[in-house]
Amino acid sequence: MGYDLHITRRGYWWDEEGSDISAAEWEGAVTADPGLVVVPLPEGCPERVVELVLRKGGESSGEPLWWRAGQIWAKNPTDAMVATMCRLAKALSARVQGDDGEHYDM
């Protein structure tokens, strides 16, 4: 079991209605951030995964962010990932929200 954090534009991440983050917006935000790299997935996979890349030495931390159905999330994110998510949320005019609906601001 884990705890997820979500980047969303909806009132609550679990809401079915609200503004989505498009795949193009997500990919644009990732491309603009030198600390992130897209990890290719098999053909037909509905999610787009991004890995946080450590700036020191360019080694991948192996900590993924997932995009699907207009939202982005991470399972059990480290403090570094939470900070990255807050930065991405700001760039996407969204916010970071925990599983229980609480907001994260950094």
Residue 4, CA atoms < 13 Å, CB-side half-sphere = 15
CB 103 within 8 A of CB 96: yes
**CA-wise closest residue to 37 among 16, 14, 15, 60:** 60
Verdict on whether the full-model pTM lies above 0.85: no
Give the pLDDT confidence score for residue 54 in this predicted structure.
47
**Domain count of the fold of the chain:** 1
The C-alpha angle 81, 83, 97, rounded to 5 degrees, equals 85
Q: Which two tokens stand for residue 89?
A: 């949320």
- Who wins on pLDDT, 60 or 93? 93
3-state secondary structure 43-97: CCCCCEEEEEECCCCCCEEEEEEEEECCEEEEECCCHHHHHHHHHHHHHCCCEEE
Structural domain range at position 80:
4-104
Residue-wise pLDDT tens digits, 32-78:
887 777 766 667 766 666 655 544 455 666 778 888 888 998 999 88
